[in-house]
Chain A
Amino acid sequence: MSEKTSWDWETELKEIPFNEWKTHFNWVQAPQVSQNGESIAAVVNLDEMVFSVCVNGQVWEEEYEKIWSLTSVSDSGFAAFVARDEEWTLSVNGQEWTHWCDFIWQMMKSLDGQFLGAAFQTDSEYGVIVNDTPWEDRYENLTGAVMAADGTSAAVVQVVPMPGADVEAFKKGVFSVACNGVPEDRRFLNIWDISFDTAGRQMGYGVRTDRESYGIVQNDTLWKNRFESVWKPEFLDENSLLAPVRINGKWQLYKNDAPFWQNKYDQLWHLTLSPDGKDVAAIVSAPYGRWRVAVNDTVWHVAWDTMISDIYFSQDGSSLAAVYKHKDVWDLAVNQTPWQMAADMVFVPCLSQDGSVVAVVIQKKGQYQLVVNKKTMASGFSFMADPVISADGSKVLLKGIENGIYKRRIIRV
């Protein structure tokens, strides 16, 4: 977050005409905005099967047959998967990687933008590539690739060939986890949801050991307990792994193979740890069909009937925001208080360091609005990217398109 301080928080308004691009190109795809809001980019079509990326009106030098997954990376840049002569690679700000492959997908980026990764396939062999360095070992099949903050990558890989519809072979377990391309010894029927600890050294994931037994692997060691099902585990610290597990039809939170939370829920998922590691939150359902946020095994007193899609802690752990849907409309609740926005959609909220300011983009009747601490700060936009709050919490960066013009606005709270 340190780099946020170097951004321009003073200029109140910067504008870039966006809709006018449509007159220069055959067509312009959905825009992406850089993190610092200084640039807006889109994939544009120049001719039949000729695409490029336009950033603030400037087109990347190279042209491609196909481009997809345009994403903002680091403060002001963009990356995308690009194809030429039926070969794919990743291009960062117009700079192609040297390795080309038959297909590339699943863009992964580290928070600081230091590492970029993706899954790739060449000659029907699969691997992961990070910062232009592909895994040495390739596999028949690969799913669920992840990358840690330090660029360590892992994925579930098939290590034993399996003929079509061979349920006996499947039963023996043909999947393993490969970390930086190197497979672990142990095989399972299924492996899901690899989690790294913050340092990127330890791994935890969910497995199925036979048709109806599920387990958790923590640093190569399979927990002794078996469960009816498991969801994504998360590291509390390097020595403790938390995981929601299902026992007798109810969900409970386990830590290092033993009960951690005492309550049992009809659902328990989206484990979310406060950045200081003090609090553990999760989305739970109790009773059936009533959705709540649980923090350290205590549920919020408010419950919703449809869904809680995601929850977010502020950096200091003092505030927790939940995006939820109740009675057909979306809303945001911060520390148990619903904002009552009755929105058609609520995007990802941004919480200030100390949790006192929460900003979020919502959609209502097809228009985008920016709402900060329950107050609508801007509306009537045709598009908005998620807002950013300055390090001191005094300003909110709005990034959106109004009347065809991209606007970078600084709003004082």
Chain B
Amino acid sequence: MKTKENPMTDTPSSVEKPTDPAIESGLERLTPDRIQQVIQDVLKKETGPRFKAYVETCMHCGLCAEACPYFLSNDRDPQFMPAAKVKNTIWEMLKKNGNVSKDFLRRAVRISHLECNVCKRCSMYCPFGIDIAYMMLLVRRICHKLEITPQYIQDTVNSHSVTLNQMWVKDDEWIDTLQWQEEDARDEFEDLEIPLDKMGADIMYSVIAPEPKFQAGLIYQAATMMHAAGINWTMPSTPGWDNSNMAMYTGDNEISGRIARAFFETAAKLRVKRIVMGECGHAFRSVYDMGNRWNSWVMPPFEVVHALAFYHELLTEGRITIKEKYKKKVTLHDPCNVSRGRGLHDKAREVVNMVCEDFVDMVPNREHNYCCGAGGGVINCGPPYKGERMVNNRVKAEQLAATGAEVLIAPCHNCHSGLEDIVHHYDLKMEIKFLGDLIYETMDKKIYTPGA
């Protein structure tokens, strides 16, 4: 047998690796005993037949390689292939019964947090449907318990644990921002309201913390649409308004569950019927798929309607009408968490076609889209890793360039920021917009009256 590259020392080429103070100080504190004990504990107590089946079923066939944007972007470097990420992390931990070195762990943190978007594309390429993303999250869970999670994403989890939102937005800042957007939006609709804590409203609208923090204009736009569409809606003034969840991506399942609980209980307390959320992918995954499960809710206890589906509803019901379609040539990025994660890609296309004149699809698309490269918490690991993120998603840039579109619609916050970086880095000269931006721009600003 030929010896393989050593996974401990052999880190992927091309970009410089930053050192992360949180990883380093975390590693410093660790003892071999502690490492072994944590890994054994997680593997023994927190995994079961599912993990076992994945490990013993993988035939090392390499079919999953073709799925992964990291692999494709790094000139087919085998280390970036999905199964290789498992091999270099959890298989090794299993084989050594948790007795792994700090160098090994340093590499495992990087593989699981920075070289995988937990986008689940590979599960569609593995003939057995092996869930690589699940195993990467398991590695993250181990890193979380070993306290070697990268600094920036850990800070967002800390924020979640204290404020129940991702960006240390304080209670008063949140409410103040909503009131300020309401005031601004009254330039367009004199009697526009962002109803706070309105009991019994039909819809609770929820956003992710970066909106009040950096992009308050999006709340303004959403309020305008709600008002024009004549929706009986509300927003909570209390923690629980943020639907984002970084804890689910660091393997801090306890905090992740706490966030999801607060979210749904806010809706329950307000006695709303449905929850509509802004254009965010991972947040949707949190409340639709992951956070609910930790709390023993098989499915979310309230219907959660992603913005894409909500726009579709507003447009097809005629609650919002488009005055004049958007002229520029647009393309659409399918956020994994709402296409592969919820099958909304067809609705998304219908909405785009209702709003835009000239739509060109990118290939591959729908469930088979490539992740933006920012998702799964990767972008949240912060600026130090931006360089490699650009290298690691070259395929996305190529895919975008091939469309020849002027405008890229990215109906997900993470995707939006991630693609912004890609477009800039690869000098693609594309404008990036949320679908809501386009609807806001093209809609008839009049109030819907039923039957009219």
Q: Interface of A with B (CB < 8 Å)?
A: 26-27, 29-30, 45, 48-49, 66, 68-69, 102-106, 119, 121, 126, 141-143, 164-168, 170-171, 175, 189-190, 192, 208, 211-212, 214, 228-229, 246, 248-249, 266-267, 269, 285, 288-289, 305-307, 309-310, 325, 344-345, 347, 363, 383
* Pair A143/B171 contact, Cβ less than 8 Å: yes
* Pair B145/A211 contact, Cβ less than 8 Å: yes
Tell whether A212 pairs with B254 under 8 Å between CB atoms, given A103-B172, A165-B152, A347-B271: yes
* Pair A105/B175 contact, Cβ less than 8 Å: yes
User: Looking at the complex, which one of A30, A102, A142, A309 makes contact with B195 (CB distance below 8 Å)?
Assistant: A30
Tell whether A289 pairs with B191 under 8 Å between CB atoms, given A119-B171, A165-B155, A249-B45: no
Bound Cα distance from A102 to B161, whole angstroms: 26
* Pair A208/B296 contact, Cβ less than 8 Å: no
User: Looking at the complex, which one of A27, A29, A68, A212 makes contact with B179 (CB distance below 8 Å)?
Assistant: A68
What residues of B have a CB within 8 angstroms of the CB of A103 in the complex?
Answer: 172, 175-176
A89 to chain B, nearest CB (A): 14
Top-6 shortest CB links A-B:
A307-B301, A289-B298, A285-B296, A309-B268, A103-B172, A27-B191
Tell whether A106 pairs with B200 under 8 Å between CB atoms, given A325-B301, A347-B271: no
What residues of A have a CB within 8 angstroms of the CB of B186 in the complex?
Answer: 48
Tell whether A190 pairs with B152 under 8 Å between CB atoms, given A119-B171, A143-B171, A143-B239: no
When C-beta atoms are compared, the residue in chain B nearest to A248 turns out to be B45
What residues of A have a CB within 8 angstroms of the CB of B151 in the complex?
Answer: 165, 167
Say yes or no: is B323 at the interface (Cβ < 8 Å to chain A). no
* Pair A289/B170 contact, Cβ less than 8 Å: no
Show 13 residue pairs from A and B whose CB-CB distance is below 8 angstroms, ordered by the A residue: A66-B179, A102-B172, A103-B175, A119-B172, A141-B170, A142-B171, A211-B252, A212-B145, A266-B296, A267-B296, A288-B298, A289-B298, A309-B265
A69-B197, A167-B22, A306-B299 known, 17 other contacts, Cβ within 8 Å:
A68-B179, A68-B196, A105-B172, A143-B162, A143-B163, A165-B152, A212-B144, A212-B254, A229-B258, A248-B45, A249-B46, A267-B296, A289-B298, A307-B264, A307-B268, A309-B265, A347-B199
A176 to chain B, nearest CB (A): 12
Say yes or no: is B128 at the interface (Cβ < 8 Å to chain A). no
Bound Cα distance from A166 to B264, whole angstroms: 30
Bound Cα distance from A305 to B191, whole angstroms: 41
What residues of A have a CB within 8 angstroms of the CB of B237 in the complex?
Answer: 68-69, 105-106
What residues of A have a CB within 8 angstroms of the CB of B198 in the complex?
Answer: 30
Contact with A along B160-194 (1 / 0, CB 8 A): 01110000001110011001000100100011010
A187 to chain B, nearest CB (A): 13
A179 to chain B, nearest CB (A): 19
Question: For the side of the interface on B, what is the size category?
Answer: 35 or more
Q: Interface of B with A (CB < 8 Å)?
A: 21-22, 25, 45-46, 144-145, 147, 151-152, 154-155, 158, 161-163, 170-172, 175-176, 179, 183, 186, 190-191, 193, 195-200, 237-239, 252, 254, 257-258, 261, 264-265, 268-269, 271-273, 295-299, 301
A350 to chain B, nearest CB (A): 15
What residues of A have a CB within 8 angstroms of the CB of B179 in the complex?
Answer: 66, 68
Bound Cα distance from A164 to B158, whole angstroms: 11
Looking at A167, A214, A229, which has the most chain B CB atoms within 10 Å of its CB? A167
A290 to chain B, nearest CB (A): 9
Bound Cα distance from A143 to B264, whole angstroms: 19
* Pair B171/A26 contact, Cβ less than 8 Å: no
What residues of B have a CB within 8 angstroms of the CB of A69 in the complex?
Answer: 196-197, 237
* Pair B154/A214 contact, Cβ less than 8 Å: no
A255 to chain B, nearest CB (A): 22
Bound Cα distance from A184 to B145, whole angstroms: 28
Bound Cα distance from A309 to B270, whole angstroms: 11
User: Looking at the complex, which one of B21, B144, B272, B297 makes contact with A289 (CB distance below 8 Å)?
Assistant: B297
* Pair B172/A167 contact, Cβ less than 8 Å: no
